[in-house]
Amino acid sequence: MKKINLKTKGMHCTSCEMLVKDALEELPGVKEVSASHSSGVISVEFDESKTTKGDIIKIIKAEGYEVEK
């Protein structure tokens, strides 16, 4: 299992956190997701043999949020 923390822009409320969390939890191999609109950080623990960091970033962007590099 790998854990990553991604700095994001665009989350403004608890609903934003839940939207991203629900979408990421549908990815195969994702074990745990936490999102904080106040810090702008999304943490994801996942199985690298089933999904990638790139897949996670695509989902976050598809939900309308930016991922900082």
- Average pLDDT along the chain, 69 residues, taken 10 residues at a time: 96 95 97 96 98 97 93
Q: Provide the sign of the torsion angle of the four alpha carbons 38, 28, 60, 64, taken in this order.
A: negative
- Distance in angstroms (rounded) separating the CA atoms of residues 47 and 64: 24
Number of domains in the chain: 1
Give CA separation, 41 vs 49, 50, 65, in Å: 24, 22, 11
Tokens of 2: 């790998």
Query: For residues 36 and 17, is the Cβ–Cβ distance under 8 A?
Result: yes
pLDDT in the model for residue 55? 97
pLDDT in the model for residue 69? 74
What is the pTM assigned to this prediction? 0.92
Q: Which domain holds residue 37?
A: 2-67
